[in-house]
């Protein structure tokens, strides 16, 4: 009951007029104290004149504080700007008293307005001391009370530079914070051993199990704006081994209105440890590209398709048509858009393999931009189901591309994958053939055909990150197919921003790739995720090597044999310069592959290998076809 009462009291705010009364009362007290100091703490001054001067001082104080509005501030939230405001108000008060004294002496006014200069200056200093001190005292008391109501935690701030100081101020100035900063950590030897705001600066090696136990340390906040991902990984690894939680301060450009708040300090994410900088794209032409356009998104219920749809919603499109055969996921996306108040969109359950149905949709809505994200993407499943891979990834793509050409679509943007490069599995090979077919259509009509090719997407359906998370929740082990296997990674947001940019940048026939940084070892990724979960390897969770799956590569590539890249306006985005192909031959082979006559898996894969000779199966039953070459 008492705790509830204290909570209610802590949520109430004092009236601004009460704050003004409190401030004026301090002014009167310090005015009397200034007289005492001036007369060596003896009552050797005219008390009658003094008491007559008090109403004048009160009026002057009210005028000063009303001018600067210091009474409107919430005392418990007193910060640097409030302190400056108080000082300005005190100086205005002193100025009023000095001016009144000057005119009183010059024109022989009433002695009430004639105040000793020494008293005024002593009063000025006392006001600054008492007013600021009282506000900070109230703030400290409030913080102490709220800290007692909430369980506090001791933290260190990693980074004793400007960002670290701003983080400290954000923590200190938040009255609801239960965080107690016990010091700073820094790599700079010149800072170690010194104090900042009376808090010591420690080296990282000082943070030992004994240190953690001595200071009851629970958390470290990393506040370095230019930290390398490798160094971040090293630091977090050491801290996690000590059983500490690790949080990170976001980049300055992400601070709200240029100010950092505690709510913006987040847990370190796996994205922070991938060793690459997120790609930033700013193209003012995108508004012109998508505004007032009718846009199709196939595979709209999937990870990439749904994110493309979300990003398109940032533009003033005419109509957005979301197509997918996964009705449950499509329904969830529809409800999300309704909840967000998004207008002019329509969800349609449809299968890209059904050319007749797709033709009806093109006729009905007449799109001008098509984002084709529908595909089967799981390598092991497609290795066992080549017919379905061809049916969706090749024939489905062919349907949408052909209809885009027929219905005078302005731009067709195809979502491909790095697994299409020198493929070793059916899924990658099917996507490469789809790339080839899209390339073959260049110049056949007004439609500009554009391909985007990128690596694995963090958090997408069926990707390794959600898999590892589920395995961690289940108590492990984490399964990795090979200890040396590596993959390129990017965020869903980056991938879809690239797709939108490619549509605006492309003139037709391009395959866009981009600098994804270094590839990441999946084994290291598993270790990092165990660490980020606050667990220890192998004590809490182990990692199991299961062996390469059928068709799986150890290393992925972004460029095929015989390809190189050309630059674009963005240093991270490139255009793959592909080798020349025999379009008629390729199209005829693809038509034969898509023939409705049912073929055996071996026959299907044999035809695929005829189309793309660089397709060499790996750890697959289809290796027998390579041996016959």
Residue 347: closest CA among 363, 329, 372: 329
Question: DSSP per residue over 217-276, as a string?
Answer: EEEEEE--TT--HHHHHHHHHHHHHTT-EEEEPPPGGGSBTTB--GGG-EE--GGGGSSS
Distance (Å, whole) CA 103 – CA 32:
23
Phi, psi of 607 (to 5 degrees): -65, -40
Question: DSSP per residue over 179-223, as a string?
Answer: EEEEEEE-S-TTTTT-EETTEEEE-GGG--HHHHHHTTEEEEEE-
Q: Measured between alpha carbons, how far is residue 559 from residues 431, 433, 499, 566 in Å?
A: 14, 15, 18, 12
CB-CB neighbours of 438 under 10 Å: 24
Residue 271: closest CA among 516, 38, 79: 516
Burial status of residue 223 (CB atoms within 10 A of its CB: 0-12, 13-18, 19 or more): buried
Specify the length of the chain in residues. 629
Is position 419 annotated as part of the catalytic site? Answer: yes
Catalytic residue among 191, 368, 377, 419: 419
- DSSP assigned state of 442: T
Structure tokens at 182: 């016990």
Q: Measured between alpha carbons, how far is residue 221 from residues 55, 163, 376, 444 in Å?
A: 51, 11, 41, 57
**Residue with token string 């004149």:** 49
| Distance between start and end Cα atoms, the chain | 83
Distance (Å, whole) CA 625 – CA 391:
21
> Which residues are tagged catalytic?
419
């Amino acid at each position: 009951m008492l705790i509830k009462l204290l909570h209610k009291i802590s949520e109430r705010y004092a009236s601004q007029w009460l704050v003004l009364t409190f401030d004026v009362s301090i002014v009167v007290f310090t005015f009397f104290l200034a007289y005492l100091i001036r007369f060596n703490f003896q009552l050797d001054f005219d008390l009658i004149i003094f008491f007559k001067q008090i109403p004048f001082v009160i009026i002057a104080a009210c005028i000063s504080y009303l001018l600067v509005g210091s009474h409107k501030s919430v005392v418990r939230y007193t910060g640097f700007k409030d302190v400056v405001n108080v000082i300005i108000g005190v100086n205005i008060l002193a100025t009023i008293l000095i001016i009144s004294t000057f005119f009183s002496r010059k024109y022989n006014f009433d002695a009430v307005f004639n105040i000793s200069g020494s008293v005024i200056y002593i009063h000025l200093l006392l006001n600054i001391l008492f007013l600021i001190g009282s506000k900070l005292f109230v703030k400290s008391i409030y913080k102490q009370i709220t800290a007692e109501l909430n369980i506090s935690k001791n933290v260190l701030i990693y980074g004793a530079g400007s960002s670290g100081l701003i983080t400290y101020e954000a923590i200190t100035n938040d009255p609801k914070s239960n965080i107690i900063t016990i010091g700073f950590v820094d790599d700079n030897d010149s800072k170690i051993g010194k104090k900042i705001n009376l808090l010591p600066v420690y080296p990282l090696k000082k943070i030992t199990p004994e240190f953690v136990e001595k200071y009851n340390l629970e958390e470290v906040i990393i506040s370095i704006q230019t930290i390398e991902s490798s160094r971040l990984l090293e630091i977090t690894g050491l801290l996690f081994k000590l059983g500490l939680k690790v949080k990170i301060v976001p980049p300055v450009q992400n601070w709200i209105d240029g100010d950092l708040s505690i709510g913006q300090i987040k847990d370190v994410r796996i994205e922070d440890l991938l060793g690459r900088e997120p790609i930033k794209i700013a193209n003012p032409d995108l508004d012109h590209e998508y505004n007032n356009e009718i846009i199709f998104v196939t595979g709209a219920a999937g990870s990439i398709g749904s994110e493309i749809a979300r990003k398109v919603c940032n533009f003033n499109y005419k109509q957005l048509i979301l197509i997918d055969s996964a009705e449950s996921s499509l329904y969830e996306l529809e409800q999300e858009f309704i909840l967000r108040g998004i207008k002019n969109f329509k969800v349609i359950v449809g299968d890209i393999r059904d050319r007749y149905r797709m033709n009806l949709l093109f006729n009905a809505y007449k799109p001008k931009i098509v984002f084709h994200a529908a595909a089967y993407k799981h390598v092991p499943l497609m290795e066992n189901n080549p017919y379905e891979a061809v049916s969706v990834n090749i024939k489905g793509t062919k349907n949408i591309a052909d209809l885009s050409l027929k219905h005078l679509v302005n731009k067709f943007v195809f979502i491909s994958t790095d697994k299409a490069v020198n493929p070793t599995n059916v899924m990658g090979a099917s996507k490469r053939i789809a790339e080839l077919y899209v390339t073959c259509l260049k110049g056949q009509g007004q439609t500009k055909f554009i391909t985007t090719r990128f690596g694995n997407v963090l958090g997408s359906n069926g990707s390794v990150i959600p898999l590892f998370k589920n395995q961690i929740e289940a108590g492990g082990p984490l399964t990795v197919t090979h200890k040396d296997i590596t993959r390129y990674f990017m965020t869903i947001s980056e991938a879809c921003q690239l797709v939108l940019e490619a549509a605006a940048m492309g003139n037709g026939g391009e395959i866009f790739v981009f600098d994804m940084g270094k590839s990441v070892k999946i084994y290291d990724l598993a270790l990092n995720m165990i660490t980020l979960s606050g667990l220890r390897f192998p004590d809490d969770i182990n990692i199991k090597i299961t062996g390469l799956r059928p068709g799986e590569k150890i290393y992925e590539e972004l460029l095929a044999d015989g390809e190189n890249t050309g630059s674009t306006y963005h240093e991270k985005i490139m255009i793959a310069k592909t080798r020349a192909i025999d379009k008629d031959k390729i199209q005829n082979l693809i038509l034969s592959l898509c023939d409705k006559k049912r073929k055996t898996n071996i026959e299907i894969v044999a035809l695929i290998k005829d189309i793309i000779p660089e397709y060499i199966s790996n750890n697959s039953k289809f290796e027998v076809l390579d041996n016959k070459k």
